[in-house]
């Protein structure tokens, strides 16, 4: 069976005065229908650029996209005309952004913003679209939804604005939802409400979700599979249970160790461990492993040759020389 979404050898470069930044460097992954895939990594690892490339939203110049394929339901998206791609965007693939205050139009009432995709993509009349908009605002649990249609984004709390963004993304009942750090700007209680709302809607609409986040706690709650990105590359892909129980790549291990955990058991309490250093410049050409400057297990070959993404069986892939040098793994 053909994957629902299949990305092969996606590269995105930005031409800057300092040089060419390789924001995404040969990324490949796929998604099945109904699956939630977590795309994780620190800021600057290429997660958002990857998702914007799927939607054809990278401005060119300065951006330049190359891909062997970005197949969505059997169509190669880069081959579509701008009009056909616009139809896919919003109607079949929707996106929720991280910070609703900068994504919602501050000078338009929220009712109009939720109704707009129904008028543009579904050909509904204004009154029909507003009726649906009110239903969706109620669906995402905005209190007194009908009366809120004429409210402006600044009149709502952060959690309410994020619910409006979810309603906007859902009104056309998309097949794929791309959620880019959907809860990062929210406090934990609202975060839990938004995640449970998204899970409920995913089940109800049977859609697939590409969840972009640096928060592994969110991934644990939502995802079936995980793709870990570092400096524009995929470094590990595995089912969510394997990622948490048997992480292989030192970067994945570092992310997990830096994840706060609550425990009442004294011996289980521990200091958070940070991954020392920062993501390397995307302009600098690195010959070896891009994580080698920060990796506690780096050895000679790591700095000399670039590791390939290798299969570990059962749908798992890892990009690390430790896979090929088992004797080195004893220290890990």
- Give the interface with ligand SF4 as residue ranges (CB under 6 A): 249-250, 289, 291-292, 295, 297-298, 302, 307, 320-322
Inter-residue contact 310 to 319 (CB < 8 Å): yes
Minimum distance from residue 194 beta carbon to ligand SF4 (Å): 33
Minimum distance from residue 9 beta carbon to ligand SF4 (Å): 21
Nearer to ligand SF4, 75 or 306 (CB): 306
**Are β-strands 233-239 and 316-318 bridged in parallel, bridged antiparallel, or unpaired?**
antiparallel
For residue 221, how many other CB atoms are within 10 A of its CB?
A: 18
Nearer to ligand SF4, 152 or 297 (CB): 297
Q: How far is CA 302 from the centre of its chain?
A: 28
Nearer to ligand SF4, 164 or 302 (CB): 302
Q: How far is CA 153 from the centre of its chain?
A: 24
Inter-residue contact 174 to 112 (CB < 8 Å): no
Nearer to ligand SF4, 136 or 317 (CB): 317
Minimum distance from residue 235 beta carbon to ligand SF4 (Å): 7
Minimum distance from residue 324 beta carbon to ligand SF4 (Å): 9
Nearer to ligand SF4, 210 or 322 (CB): 322
Minimum distance from residue 322 beta carbon to ligand SF4 (Å): 5
The Cα–Cα gap between 231 and 25 comes to: 8
Nearer to ligand SF4, 209 or 228 (CB): 228
The Cα–Cα gap between 164 and 160 comes to: 6
Residue 230: C-alpha distances to residues 212, 243, 280, 304 (Å): 13, 15, 9, 18
Nearer to ligand SF4, 72 or 291 (CB): 291
Minimum distance from residue 261 beta carbon to ligand SF4 (Å): 24
Inter-residue contact 41 to 47 (CB < 8 Å): yes
In degrees and rounded to multiples of 5, residue 267 shows phi and psi of -70, -20
List, in order, residues 6 or more apart from 62 with CB less than 8 Å away. Answer: 14, 15, 16
Nearer to ligand SF4, 170 or 295 (CB): 295
Minimum distance from residue 304 beta carbon to ligand SF4 (Å): 10
Minimum distance from residue 255 beta carbon to ligand SF4 (Å): 12
- Write out the two tokens for 35: 């699956």
The Cα–Cα gap between 124 and 236 comes to: 44
If we measure between CA atoms, which residue out of 11, 31, 12 comes closest to residue 212?
31
DSSP annotation of 300: H
């Amino acid at each position: 069976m053909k994957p629902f979404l299949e990305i092969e050898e996606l590269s995105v470069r930005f031409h800057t005065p300092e040089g060419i930044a390789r924001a995404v460097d040969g990324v490949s992954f796929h998604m099945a229908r109904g699956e939630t895939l977590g795309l994780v990594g620190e800021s600057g690892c290429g997660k958002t650029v990857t998702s914007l490339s799927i939607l054809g939203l990278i401005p060119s110049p300065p951006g330049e996209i190359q891909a062997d394929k970005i197949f969505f339901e059997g169509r190669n998206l880069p081959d579509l005309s701008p009009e056909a791609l616009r139809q896919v965007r919003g109607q079949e693939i929707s996106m929720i952004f991280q910070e609703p205050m900068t994504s919602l139009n501050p000078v338009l009432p929220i009712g109009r913003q939720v109704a707009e995709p129904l008028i543009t993509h579904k050909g509904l009349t204004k009154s029909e679209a507003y009726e649906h908009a009110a239903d969706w605002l109620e669906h995402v649990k905005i209190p007194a939804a009908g009366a809120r249609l004429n409210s402006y984004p600044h009149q709502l709390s952060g959690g309410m604005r994020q619910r409006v963004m979810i309603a906007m993304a859902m009104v056309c009942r998309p097949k794929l939802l791309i959620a880019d750090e959907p809860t990062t700007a929210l406090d934990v209680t609202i975060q839990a409400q938004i995640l449970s709302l998204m899970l409920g809607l995913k089940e109800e609409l049977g859609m697939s979700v590409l969840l972009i986040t640096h928060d592994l706690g969110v991934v644990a709650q939502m995802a079936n599979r995980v793709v870990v990105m570092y400096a524009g590359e995929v470094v590990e892909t595995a089912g969510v249970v394997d990622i948490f129980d048997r992480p292989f790549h030192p970067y994945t291990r570092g992310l997990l160790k830096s994840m706060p955990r609550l425990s009442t058991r004294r011996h289980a309490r521990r200091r958070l461990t940070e991954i020392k250093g920062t993501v390397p410049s995307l302009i600098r050409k690195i010959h070896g492993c891009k994580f080698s400057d920060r990796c506690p297990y780096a050895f000679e070959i790591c700095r000399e040759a670039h590791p390939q993404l290798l299969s570990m069986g059962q749908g798992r892939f890892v990009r690390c020389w430790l896979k090929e040098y088992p004797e080195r793994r004893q220290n890990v």
